[in-house]
Structure 1
């Protein structure tokens, strides 16, 4: 009896010790996929590094159909790994379920505790229009080291206005909006919310940004409250080509080294102040862009957005493309962008894309409530080789999901009927047919009346 009491006391003391510390150790894999054996080795290595919580890559390096067929096996294997190595593990799995008399693929995030028990499950149909009875909102789980985690999929960072301080993000997501592609947006999201995020795309420590060290797996020490040093949330990848035909864009006059310009899209306006000290290569133009409306995000999701940006383009501004260019040779002594946003049901994020690094003294991002609006200002000093800079705003009140989306068995989303029917080309064709049809109906009616 005394031995049992001593054992209980030891476990309680260990739990109290873990929860009283101000940090925890998080780990992720460097690769995006691993076989069961590779995942087992990864977990064992993480245990040696005293990792408290580990996000696994997809535990199969083969096709989607095989992943779904091995769902139960994967759950059993991961549960055993969590128990044997005494750590929390989060994994993203796919499974097949019967839903509305057909088979649907369900995306599932599962969190296992140190005893191998599933403590949180977050599930979504791969087809967003499916009406399967699964968990539709983010879930949470509490750890023995005193941290409550939100369990998310990548798109939730954009679709939800989150308020927590610690999140685990697992799964795959392809955004149709370049500014929201991971890990660019992940850095900006962590900076704006000052929250910790442990994801397969990286470990982010609030305003300190991406952190961690390691080769086959990355380990980072995170503060539980998310507070840390401040680093500029800059991404260094080349921007994707995007359709800017709906944006209001005014060319930036590079011959004028001090430009003040207001660009509006409808009632939404962006105020720009740009100082430059060198011109760029021939054929390169910079535009001051503004947009307010609804944009396709992916997977049937459409999101309300408000955007202000300064960006380079070679050729037309309707489809911004700089090709392989990674040097603009333009020195921006100062860029200031300010816009007013809704104080509620909204969020704003700084977007910075450059091939150069930036220090904290070169960047500012401020938000303040003024006259029933949220005034946001982003500034940059002494920057060059800038590929995108601005504010990406979310208006959650305008979000909606398309009702008709068709999938194939291999590649997911292949065709959007709603988008096609509402495209400008189809609407113009319908108008053309209707006008001609009205003329025909009129002629036939006259002929019938004359015959009576």
Structure 2
């Protein structure tokens, strides 16, 4: 795989055990062809930190695992490998900008590659990454923190402490040269990092154009969607430190949905701390999951996931995911409704009743969700399925506009302050249920809303590609496999244009 020069566009101008277990998960689509690129994503279990460790030692202990993953990947002819967000220092005990500073790297203005014997002390990790790439002849995408010093007098945006601190992706090619740098734009409560100007950063490998993003970027139009729509990225790379939140926002779930919706490949490397709900990395494409790992067992180690993707895949850069708003269908079962929070949002739900050839509708504000289904639920006694709708601003932890149509497992939770059990839908549910022989979901989404098909089977695992399909042009989600055990079957919509400024 050959790297071409960086394309770097600025919008103003135009997260370990002491033992190491490395496993390679080979999916059904793993094969080698002349016109393919072999990629790897490494889900990393961070090395535990010690009060006696220096910041440099903390990062170097994590680099040991990175190096082993790179050597294993190179031995199987992987061309490019991606590492997770915060992977080098997620366990570091800092709580301020000054506390973070010793973990940050300085990118030299005139970069010297691995062959150079003179390196700034603040670029030691970058130098080791360069050598790792060169000695294994593999392209590395690594997330770390970087610092750029500025003058508070001449730069009106310069922070009071005289430095910009960025959450950063760096890309080293097979010869160890730094070919791309991306600063995270959409920060998730990262008060010790600064938000940079919006950038769209891309680089080329073979005949394929790769775009760079980081974790929380995925939920926004800029830069992630724009990399595809405006700059024709064919593969998007996403280091992540993502907390899984069922039923719509498990890392592997929403990234599969994003790849299907955009029609491009998405390489996702996350942190492996299942005891804290951090797990689930993989390679996803226009047809769904290509290969992924989801290991919720607590006493498990890092994993390397390998897949082949086409070289020069064709992206699908249409500008809108939504069909135009339709009038709600009136010939469906209009049952009683109730409200409960799911993923922090107050949904309106109606209970799905069993039977053949049935339909149900539920509305919230101007969004109406219609479900056509056949469901034999003779053996289903633990809770029920609900059809839910949410249209409005999500305001828990962050604020953005969502429109969601969802079929999710519901149940009852008893609390000390309630005389009757509380109905819960989606949140805390893990076991799916079957009996559906037909399932078709649509909604009257706002024009311009991007619909992402988020589907989970039992035990919160992805269903097999082909068991369901998303008809993008019709805005419809359909079940293909009969009697699949479902946990969530949803259209998660992002109304980007209605996000607060």
TM over 0.5: yes
Q: Which protein has the bigger strand share?
A: 1
Aligned counterpart in structure 2 of residue 23 of structure 1, from 31, 36, 46:
36
Larger radius of gyration: 1
The equivalent of 2:403 in structure 1 is: 306
The equivalent of 2:129 in structure 1 is: 78
Pair 1:157-2:157 in alignment: no
- Output one character per residue of 1:90-139: Cα deviation in whole Å (capped at 9) or x when no partner: 10102456752247753111111222222111113665678947343341
How many matched pairs? 359
* CA deviation after TM superposition for structure 1 residue 32, in Å: 4.0
Tell me: CA distance 1:136–1:178, structure 2 relative to 1, closer, same or farther (3 Å): farther
Distance in 2, matches of 1:191 and 1:105, equals 34
Aligned counterpart in structure 1 of residue 454 of structure 2, from 339, 351, 354:
351
Aligned counterpart in structure 2 of residue 282 of structure 1, from 381, 401, 408:
381
The equivalent of 2:160 in structure 1 is: 101
Aligned counterpart in structure 2 of residue 219 of structure 1, from 306, 321, 330:
306
Distance in 1, matches of 2:427 and 2:242, equals 25
* CA deviation after TM superposition for structure 1 residue 353, in Å: 1.4
Tell me: CA distance 1:158–1:337, structure 2 relative to 1, closer, same or farther (3 Å): same
Q: Which structure 1 residue ranges, 5 or more long, are not aligned?
A: 1-10, 13-19, 229-240, 369-374, 402-452
Aligned counterpart in structure 2 of residue 87 of structure 1, from 119, 138, 141:
138
Tell me: CA distance 1:324–1:338, structure 2 relative to 1, closer, same or farther (3 Å): closer
The equivalent of 1:121 in structure 2 is: 181
Pair 1:110-2:174 in alignment: no
- Output one character per residue of 1:13-62: Cα deviation in whole Å (capped at 9) or x when no partner: xxxxxxx9521111222434462223223223322222211113423574
Tell me: CA distance 1:170–1:358, structure 2 relative to 1, closer, same or farther (3 Å): closer
Contact 1:206 1:226 in 2 (8 A): no
The equivalent of 2:251 in structure 1 is: 182
Pair 1:63-2:166 in alignment: no
Distance in 1, matches of 2:211 and 2:263, equals 14
* CA deviation after TM superposition for structure 1 residue 159, in Å: 0.8
Distance in 1, matches of 2:303 and 2:386, equals 42
Distance in 2, matches of 1:287 and 1:126, equals 31
The equivalent of 1:364 in structure 2 is: 469
Tell me: CA distance 1:325–1:205, structure 2 relative to 1, closer, same or farther (3 Å): closer
Q: Secondary structure at the match of 2:215?
A: coil
Q: Which protein has the bigger helix share?
A: 1
Tell me: CA distance 1:320–1:142, structure 2 relative to 1, closer, same or farther (3 Å): same
Distance in 1, matches of 2:462 and 2:144, equals 36
Pair 1:387-2:487 in alignment: yes
Distance in 2, matches of 1:142 and 1:267, equals 43
Tell me: CA distance 1:325–1:94, structure 2 relative to 1, closer, same or farther (3 Å): closer
Distance in 2, matches of 1:268 and 1:146, equals 42
* CA deviation after TM superposition for structure 1 residue 223, in Å: 0.4
* CA deviation after TM superposition for structure 1 residue 261, in Å: 2.1
Contact 1:244 1:319 in 2 (8 A): no
Distance in 2, matches of 1:327 and 1:296, equals 28
Distance in 1, matches of 2:286 and 2:431, equals 28
* CA deviation after TM superposition for structure 1 residue 147, in Å: 1.9
Pair 1:246-2:349 in alignment: no
Tell me: CA distance 1:206–1:67, structure 2 relative to 1, closer, same or farther (3 Å): farther
- Output one character per residue of 1:387-431: Cα deviation in whole Å (capped at 9) or x when no partner: 111211111011237xxxxxxxxxxxxxxxxxxxxxxxxxxxxxx
Contact 2:374 2:439 in 1 (8 A): yes
- Output one character per residue of 1:168-207: Cα deviation in whole Å (capped at 9) or x when no partner: 1113234767412201111122222221122212122331
The equivalent of 2:26 in structure 1 is: none
* CA deviation after TM superposition for structure 1 residue 79, in Å: 1.3
Tell me: CA distance 1:32–1:152, structure 2 relative to 1, closer, same or farther (3 Å): farther
- Output one character per residue of 1:258-285: Cα deviation in whole Å (capped at 9) or x when no partner: 3222211111111111211223543512
Contact 1:67 1:95 in 2 (8 A): no
Tell me: CA distance 1:196–1:322, structure 2 relative to 1, closer, same or farther (3 Å): closer
